[in-house]
Amino acid sequence: MSAELLLGLGGTVDDEIAWDAAVLEGVARYDGIRAPELDASAPDEAAEALARVRPLIPAPTLVVHTKHWALAHGAGAGRWRDALEGASAMAATRFRVGDALTADEYEATIALPRQGAAVAFARALERRLGDDVAVVPSYFLDVAAPTTIGLGDSFVGGFIASLARADASATAVGTAS
């Protein structure tokens, strides 16, 4: 079991915490979170885990990504959806092609289908938690020799790149007015 958490998305990234399996399992045991709560087939369990973890995380928005989904949890979480999409696509592209990551490979990833169970998970969790969560299902990736080193960094890079693109678009629109 492994995941990355990105904390402090109240406008900037305040801190990134990389959780290796031992640390995450320790926190999970401390808080009573079971592995199925991080699975794409358990939206109710994930909602309960978020409810238990959120008081421990002093950030306006919590971003969690697993191999099945990425989510933002906090007031107005939907504003992070595009960044979650970009982050997920970047990490998936890194997983697929490793150091051969190019803009064309990124676009090829975006054209891939999503994991079916993760799509259902996202819908169910968003129905349950409403505007306080945005969930992006992961891509279906069937890769003979995946790259697993640097996926968290790729996720964060994709997240920030998406925010920068949105800011540049908003600036361009504001300048054109």
Instruction: Work out the pLDDT band at 3, boundaries 50, 70, 90.
Output: very low
Q: Is residue 143 one of the residues assigned to a domain?
A: yes
Q: Is residue 175 one of the residues assigned to a domain?
A: no
pLDDT, average across residues 133-143? 95
Least confident window among 25-29, 111-115, 161-165: 25-29
The rounded mean pLDDT for the chain is: 80
**Alpha helix ranges (H) inside the chain:** 21-31, 43-53, 81-97, 103-110, 116-129, 151-176
C-alpha span between 48 and 33 (Å, rounded): 9
Q: Is residue 118 one of the residues assigned to a domain?
A: yes
Q: Is residue 123 one of the residues assigned to a domain?
A: yes
Residue 103 in this model has a pLDDT that exceeds 80: yes
Tell how far CA 173 is from the center of its chain. Answer: 28
Q: Is residue 176 one of the residues assigned to a domain?
A: no
Spatial strand order of the sheet with 133-137 comes to 15-19, 3-7, 62-65, 69-73, 133-137
Q: Which residue has the higher pLDDT, 171 or 174?
A: 171
Domain housing 9: 3-170
Number of independent structural domains in the chain: 1
- Domain harbouring 50, CATH code: 3.40.1190.20
Q: Is residue 54 one of the residues assigned to a domain?
A: yes
| pLDDT tens digit sequence for 151-164 | 999 999 999 999 99
Q: Is residue 177 one of the residues assigned to a domain?
A: no
Q: Are 1 and 21 in contact (CB under 8 A)?
A: yes
**Total-model pTM:** 0.77
| pLDDT tens digit sequence for 52-87 | 888 887 788 999 888 899 999 999 999 999 999 999
C-alpha span between 85 and 155 (Å, rounded): 10
Positive or negative CA dihedral for 15, 64, 148, 82?
Answer: negative
Of all residues in the chain, the percent with pLDDT exceeding 90 is 53
Q: Is residue 142 one of the residues assigned to a domain?
A: yes
DSSP one-letter code for 39 = S
